[in-house]
Structure 1
Amino acid sequence: MSIYPLFASPFFVFQIGAQTLVLGLIGLSLSFLAGSGGMVSLSQMTIAGVAAYMVAILGSSSVDTISLGWAPWLAISVALVVSTVTAVAIGALSIRTEGIRTIMITLAIGVAFFYLTQQNYAAFNGFQGFSGIDAPMLFAIDLGEPRAFYYLCLVISALVVFGLSYLNRSTYGIGLQGVRDNARRMASLGFNVTAHRLMAHAIAGLIAGVGGVLFVYYNHRISPGSISTAALINVLVIAVLGGLRHPIGPFLGAALFVLLQNFAIDFFSRERFNLVIGAVFLIVIFSSPDGLLGLWERLRASVRPDARRHNPTGGTSSSNHPSPDSNRRHK
């Protein structure tokens, strides 16, 4: 991944690579909630949109009458705090229910925020949204340049993946998985189930907020169309398509999603993209409920029996060496 920009064109670096990492981060926030916490939320793109809108409103954009022109790093910091608080507020409402009710509550919140941004011109500039939002400078590095932006996304994604991998093995992570499997038993053992779930929403909200900041810098704009119902569903498709059991799964799902989005129009019209991604989604899920990661594990398992024929020292097979019983018979 780190040498990818060295031989790829700017289009593949930015349009494919960077977009995959950005969408993968937002999908990772849902994957963490669903995989480790057992909570499916359809509002993760909404939380990313909150962070994106905060960057546009507090920072600089082409809409000078609304944007406040704060320093980029200050706007980003406030945006991450607001997105995390928003995620906790959504979690406080959704953890009171389970199953389909949780999904419908988070979907309703996402739809409500979509119409709020579309119909409010004073704060969100209505359906036009904000444009002209450029990535800031880091020392002398222009983060808006395709390769620089890709490496920024790569470093952040790697840190988040390693952080979640460590978190899942920590005391809190194991406790959260216990809450996922049997909340009543964990409560009887003295664990605060509500606190574990709210903390999961806060962590997922922070990850989605980071993805939202990168998302607005990737597109150089944010509008209600970016957080529509289709966008909410796309995040779910990306997370499930890649696999929920490992932090790397959403990035695999995002890679397939972005590739289909950019190249499926060579064979199908753009209006039929949802039909294409839906068909691919069904094929992958019916082949492996664990998504692309599950397919990879099944492929490894099919190859592994061949490797078992070789002993650890590199020999061909234990059958090529006489056993002690056969030596006794020869004697």
Structure 2
Amino acid sequence: MATLEKMEAYGSETPQWFERVPPAYWVMTIVLLVLPAFVSDFVMFQIMGWTNITGLIALSLMFLGGYGGMVSLGQMALAGFAGYMVAIFGNSAVVEVSQGWPWWIAVPLALVLTIIVATAIGWLAVRTAGIYTIMITLAISAAFFYFTRQNYQLFNGFQGFNSVLPPKLFGVDWRGPMTFYYLTLFWAALGFGGVLYISRAPFGLALQGVRDNPRRMAALGYSVTSHRVAAHAFAGLIAGIGGILLTWQSSQISPGTVGIGAAIDILVVAVIGGLRHPIGAFIGAFIFVILKTFAVDVLVALGLGGERFQLLIGLGFLIIVFFSPDGVLGLWERLRSHSKRDPLTGEERGGRSQ
């Protein structure tokens, strides 16, 4: 009921645009801004760039699951849809299909269409709950994967599109290691700040109220369905931005990008990081990218064969979830609460004795 109390407080107080930023956020911001001065191009482009992109897509799932109580396996499909739209309306090596429109038309159009598709998916998914929502979104993801694989007139079939590059805005090559890192960091920070702000705005508080007690929220006059569908639309926008950046990073988009494995990967990223706070999506993304990048090298060094790298990723996932169902954030909260307790009495240090 804490969410409903916060909503009542909004009725008597004017929402603050800016709240006091924790010191840890300032430290993290400074570290990320100066990071290119200390790391290689590979780390900037492949590790951190991929982390920011994967974190954005996982952030869309975190928003739905953490604040809306809706688990969707369709976020990677939405990201891939946005990437396909940029390739189709913009420029690529497949000149027979790509329209060659300028980026300032292709990119916004791709995002608008992604929001429309996300709204349609949400309109279908919110009429179910639990495992049925997961199955509907999984079925949509699978259908989109097979459609892109078999359709050659629009999606160029199995080959997809290559040479899909970001525009050279202001004469800058935005696919360079440093520039692309800052490009992804900008959108990751914008997505993170947007989700954090909305979660504390009236809409976000109402969405959390719908998550906790939909019947009471409906009795108070809130449209449960409208809030859930709007949450899917906003999550689709975040996933679409991540999908466009992913397409620009790899300079291609194909059915493999939107496969079932990729949809499961986003769920794993969100669960590893934790669904209780937006930062969890990026923590999970960083862990996933590190495992994905270096798992093969570790297994080869151990003499186990590089083809079993998914095993190491799966073990890492199981270990984190086993010790903390809430992911890394949950584990961090448990460690903090444990450190605040007196080892002899078990009470929190500094607390009043009763």
TM-based fold match above 0.5: yes
Offset of residue 270 of structure 1 = 4.1
Match of 1:278 among 314, 319, 322: 314
Match of 2:127 among 96, 102, 120: 96
Q: Which amino acid aligns with 1:89?
A: A
Q: Which residue of 2 aligns with 1:323?
A: none
Q: Which residue of 1 aligns with 2:193?
A: 162
**Structure 1 stretch 135-144 or stretch 187-196: which is displaced more?**
135-144
**Structure 1 stretch 295-304 or stretch 175-184: which is displaced more?**
295-304
CA distance in 1, matches of 2:125, 2:310: 28
Offset of residue 138 of structure 1 = 2.1
Offset of residue 282 of structure 1 = 1.1
Are 1:140 and 2:140 matched, yes or no? no
Q: Which has the larger radius of gyration?
A: 1
CA distance in 2, matches of 1:98, 1:116: 26
Match of 2:158 among 127, 133, 156: 127
Offset of residue 309 of structure 1 = 6.3
CA distance in 2, matches of 1:285, 1:309: 29
Are 1:23 and 2:54 matched, yes or no? yes
**Structure 1 stretch 10-19 or stretch 260-269: which is displaced more?**
260-269
1:153-302 aligned within 5 A: 153-268=184-299, 269-302=305-338
Q: Which residue of 1 aligns with 2:339?
A: 303
CA distance in 1, matches of 2:139, 2:76: 13
Q: Which residue of 2 aligns with 1:34?
A: 65
Aligned residues: 311
- List per-residue Cα deviations over 1:42-90 (Å, max 9, x = no partner): 0000000110000000000010100000101211100100111110000
Offset of residue 302 of structure 1 = 3.2
Q: 2:92 touches 2:162 (CA, 8 Å); kept in 1?
A: yes
Q: Which residue of 2 aligns with 1:109?
A: 140
Uncovered stretches (5+) of structure 1, i.e. residues with no partner: 312-331
CA distance in 2, matches of 1:152, 1:305: 43
SS at match of 2:270: helix
Q: 2:340 touches 2:349 (CA, 8 Å); kept in 1?
A: no
- List per-residue Cα deviations over 1:96-152 (Å, max 9, x = no partner): 111111100000000000000000011111110000111112212211111101101
- List per-residue Cα deviations over 1:286-310 (Å, max 9, x = no partner): 111110111222222233348x868
CA distance in 1, matches of 2:150, 2:324: 42
Q: Which amino acid aligns with 2:250?
A: N
Q: Which amino acid aligns with 1:240?
A: V
Percent identity of paired positions between Structure 1 and Structure 2: 55
Question: Normalising to structure 2: TM-score of the pair?
Answer: 0.85
CA distance in 2, matches of 1:2, 1:252: 17
Offset of residue 177 of structure 1 = 0.4
SS at match of 1:2: helix
SS at match of 1:161: helix
Offset of residue 212 of structure 1 = 0.6
CA distance in 2, matches of 1:270, 1:106: 32
Match of 1:75 among 91, 95, 106: 106
Question: Normalising to structure 1: TM-score of the pair?
Answer: 0.91
Q: Which amino acid aligns with 1:174?
A: L
CA distance in 2, matches of 1:160, 1:295: 24
